Amino acid sequence: MTGRAGRYPTRTGLRGETPAERAFRLRVEPLAGDALRLTLWQQPPSADGRRPARRRLATLEGTPLLVALDQVLDLLRAEGYRGLEGGTRPSSGAGLAAKGNASELPLSETAGVRLGLLFLALRPLRRVERMERVAAGVRSMTDEEAYYWFSKCAARDTGRRARRALRILVAGE
């Protein structure tokens, strides 16, 4: 299989996914009652073909997840999933959140970046109105802006300051 109009070869993995399509995984864990916990994992591609260790980017549950749920579901639908409860991705046939079982959903790089940015920005917030403004700001970003802010916010050394700057920029505080 070749990419970019047949000029550059691309490696494919399981289910015909390229490394960029497998770079992110969303783990959906059912909790007590109807509650869910979503954890986003990133597995950066390696040049030597070995699988590097996965990195947990962020976990979202409770009120921040409820605020972001529409945006999360929209991104999952764009990826071909029907929803968080029992829907499937046509190409994989894997269930999303079976009763009492956690599941992992492979995501494209663009969807993973957007979810990562959303999760990282919402996680520490407590006020619902501020969460809504931040979620709306992340939703309105272009792909280029989302990639830029994700690279800043996911950095291990300066990520905390970048996340604060992002929240101030999009929430106006």
**Alpha carbon distances (Å) from 132 to 9, 99, 118, 139:** 42, 29, 11, 10
This prediction's pTM: 0.77
56: in domain: yes
Selection from 27, 24, 22, 53 nearest residue 38 by Cα? 27
pLDDT at 128: 95
**Number of independent structural domains in the chain:** 1
Return d(Cα 160, Cα 53) in angstroms, integer. Answer: 22
Q: Look at residue 40 and tell me whether its pLDDT is greater than 80.
A: yes
pLDDT at 13: 40
What confidence tier does 74 reach under pLDDT thresholds 50, 70, 90? very high
Return d(Cα 73, Cα 167) in angstroms, integer. Answer: 22
Selection from 47, 110, 104 nearest residue 96 by Cα? 104
**Highest mean pLDDT range out of 32-36, 75-79, 145-149?**
145-149
37: in domain: yes
What confidence tier does 53 reach under pLDDT thresholds 50, 70, 90? confident
Query: Could you identify the residue written with the tokens 């992110």?
Result: 24
Selection from 143, 110, 122 nearest residue 67 by Cα? 122
Range of the domain at 105: 21-171
Q: Look at residue 2 and tell me whether its pLDDT is greater than 70.
A: no
86: in domain: yes
What DSSP state is assigned to residue 49? S
- Do the bridges between strand 55-61 and strand 2-3 make them parallel or antiparallel, or are there none, so unpaired? unpaired
pLDDT at 4: 40
106, with CB counted inside 10 A (0-12, 13-18, 19+), is buried
Mean pLDDT of the chain: 81
6: in domain: no
Q: Look at residue 93 and tell me whether its pLDDT is greater than 50.
A: no
Q: Look at residue 46 and tell me whether its pLDDT is greater than 50.
A: yes
For the segment 133-162, the average pLDDT, to the nearest whole number, is: 96
3: in domain: no
For the segment 86-98, the average pLDDT, to the nearest whole number, is: 43
